A = this chain, B = another copy of it.
Amino acid sequence: MLRRILPHSGAAALRAAIPTQTSRTLFPCLHHTTRNYSIKAPHAASATPPGIDIDPSKLIIEETKTPGKLQNPEELVFGKTFTDHMLTIEWTQKDGWLNPQIKPYQNLSLDPATCVFHYAFECFEGMKAYKDAKGQIRLFRPDKNMARFNKSAARIALPTFDPQAVIDLIARFVKLESRFIPEKRGYSLYLRPTMIGTQKTLGISPPGSALLYVIASPVGPYYPTGFKAVSLEATDYAVRAWPGGVGDKKLGANYAPCIVPQKEAMSRGFQQNLWLFGEEEYVTEVGTMNFFVAFKDKKTGQKELVTAPLDGTILEGVTRDSVLSLAREKLVPEGWKISERKFTMKEMDEAAQEGRLIEAFGAGTAAIVSPVRHISWKGKLVHCGLKDHEETGELTMRVKNWMEARQYGDEEHEWSYICN
C-alpha cells in the first residue's frame, strides 16, 4: 500500500532535494526540518511571479487642496492623527507594480469580499522620520524595515519589491510632509508602511492583487515627562508564537490574538503582558516590544545583557538589533557580556532574589526603551532592580541616549538615512 515518491512529476523529486534560499528565509526556525523545497521566485524571499518592480521615477504626486492644521505637539496621541497625504502603490499579478502615487489622505474603497477582510492578507512596518538640528529629515535604518517587510509579505504570498525603491519613495513622501514633523527632541513622524491583499474573491489562494501604502502620524515622546517604569504580567495561559509559525514576521495575524491577554494584564493593573514559551517558561517578548534583561553572573560578577534569540518565536525588532549592536560596541569594552540566548522566568526570579538582576527593559520603535519595574509571575512579583523612587536604571537611560544620538543625527552614523 506504499509507493515511491511523487508520481505526478519527475522534476518534483529532484526539486525536493535542493534546499533553497526561499525555504530558509520563509521557514528559518525549524528544529526538526526534514525537507526543504524550492519556489521559483523573482526575489529571494518572494512567492510571487515576475513582473515590473516599483519604479520611483514614475511617481505621480497629487497634492491636497485642503491642507490640514498642525496639532499642538503636546497633544499628539500615537497613531490618531495623520498627515495630508499617503503613498500608494498597487500591484497586480498580471502587470506587477503599477506607478507609485502620493495623493491626499483618503479612505480605501474595497469590495466586502476583499481577501484582506477574511484571510488577514496584511503585513506592516513601524518606523520613524526625525528632524535633526539642521532641519534635515532622517530615517533610521530603513533598510532593516524594508527587508523585514519583504520577508513578511513573502510569508503570506503577497508580492515583494525592491527595498531601495520604497525607501526613495518614503523619503520623497516625508519631505512633502515635512511641516508635520515637530522639531523638538523626542518628537518624530511615525510611518506605517502597510501591504494588503485586495483580490475580491472568497477562494483561499494567493492574492492576485495587492496594495502597498504608507501613512504618517506625528508623534510625541513616549514618556513626555521622563521615563515611567512599567509593570508586566507574565502570560502563561496563552501562547503568542510557536516554532514553525509566523511569530517572527510583522503580520496583522500576530496582533489581534494578543489583545485579550493584554487587556487581562491591564485589568489587574499591569501596563503590558510578557509572553512566555513552553513548560520551561522561556521569556520571549513583551506585548509589543522585545525584552532585555541585565544580570550579574553568580560566580564572576560579570554583567550580562540578555535578550531572547531569533528562533522564530519573537519579532526581529530593528530596535532590538540596534540595542544589541550598540551594546556590543559600548558595553563589551566595559567588561559586559552580550547574549542572544534563551532564559527563563525562573532564572530571572533567582537573579532577582539574589540581587543579581540589574535592570530590565522593553525595546521597540514606539518607546525606544521602556524600563520595567516588576513582573507578576506565579502569584508573586519579580522585582527588576529599580528602587521604589526610580523610574529607570542607568543602562536603560544610556541605551536611550545612544539610540537618540543616531536617530536625530547628533552622531553621524550609517544607520541614519538623510532624505535628500
Question: Which one of B190, B192, B258, B380 lies within 8 Å of A2 (CB-CB)?
Answer: B380
B237 with A35: CB separation less than 8 A: yes
Question: Using a CB-CB cutoff of 8 Å, which residues 152-193 of chain A contact chain B?
Answer: 154-157, 190, 192
Question: Using a CB-CB cutoff of 8 Å, which residues 1-60 of chain A contact chain B?
Answer: 1-9, 12, 15-16, 23, 26-27, 30, 32-37, 39, 47
Q: Is A61 an interface residue (CB 8 A)?
A: no
Question: Using a CB-CB cutoff of 8 Å, which residues 86-110 of chain A contact chain B?
Answer: 86, 105-110
A23 to B263 Cα, complex, angstroms? 13
A119 to B81 Cα, complex, angstroms? 18
A376 with B6: CB separation less than 8 A: yes
B122 with A16: CB separation less than 8 A: no
Nearest-CB distance from A144 to chain B (Å)? Answer: 19
B237 with A47: CB separation less than 8 A: no
B257 with A256: CB separation less than 8 A: no
Residues of B within 8 A of A80 (CB): 201-203
Question: Using a CB-CB cutoff of 8 Å, which residues 71-93 of chain A contact chain B?
Answer: 77-80, 82, 86
Question: Which one of B201, B239, B253, B259 lies within 8 Å of A243 (CB-CB)?
Answer: B239
Closest to A249 in B: B257
A267 to B244 Cα, complex, angstroms? 20
Q: Is A238 an interface residue (CB 8 A)?
A: yes
Question: Using a CB-CB cutoff of 8 Å, which residues 312-327 of chain A contact chain B?
Answer: none
Residues of B within 8 A of A349 (CB): 2
A119 with B260: CB separation less than 8 A: no
* Complex interface: stretch among A331-339, A351-359, A394-402, A403-411: A351-359
B39 with A267: CB separation less than 8 A: yes
Question: Using a CB-CB cutoff of 8 Å, which residues 103-124 of chain A contact chain B?
Answer: 105-113, 116-122, 124
Q: Is A379 an interface residue (CB 8 A)?
A: yes
Residues of B within 8 A of A353 (CB): 1-2
Question: Which one of B117, B243, B288, B354 lies within 8 Å of A252 (CB-CB)?
Answer: B117
Q: Is A251 an interface residue (CB 8 A)?
A: yes
Question: Which one of B2, B202, B242, B355 lies within 8 Å of A242 (CB-CB)?
Answer: B242
Question: Which one of B107, B120, B251, B269 lies within 8 Å of A109 (CB-CB)?
Answer: B107
Stoichiometry, as copies per complex, reads 2
Residues of B within 8 A of A213 (CB): 112
Q: Indicate whether A35 sits within 8 Å of B383 (C-beta atoms), given known contacts A124-B118, A205-B259.
A: no
Nearest-CB distance from A275 to chain B (Å)? Answer: 10
Nearest-CB distance from A124 to chain B (Å)? Answer: 5
Nearest-CB distance from A160 to chain B (Å)? Answer: 13
Question: Which one of B2, B9, B113, B383 lies within 8 Å of A383 (CB-CB)?
Answer: B2
Closest to A257 in B: B246
Q: Is A286 an interface residue (CB 8 A)?
A: no
Nearest-CB distance from A280 to chain B (Å)? Answer: 11
A268 with B9: CB separation less than 8 A: yes
Residues of B within 8 A of A111 (CB): 107-108
Q: Is A196 an interface residue (CB 8 A)?
A: yes
Given contacts A8-B270, A32-B236, list 17 more A-B pairs with CB under 8 A.
Answer: A1-B355, A1-B383, A3-B381, A5-B379, A7-B381, A27-B237, A27-B238, A33-B236, A37-B237, A39-B260, A77-B201, A78-B203, A108-B109, A120-B122, A155-B260, A197-B256, A202-B217
5 A–B contacts from the bound complex (CB under 8 Å) = A9-B268, A80-B202, A117-B196, A118-B255, A204-B262
Chain A residues within CB distance 8 Å of chain B = 1-9, 12, 15-16, 23, 26-27, 30, 32-37, 39, 47, 77-80, 82, 86, 105-113, 116-122, 124, 154-157, 190, 192, 194, 196-197, 201-206, 213, 215, 217, 231, 236-239, 242-246, 251-260, 262-264, 267-270, 279, 287-288, 349, 352-355, 357, 374, 376, 378-383, 385
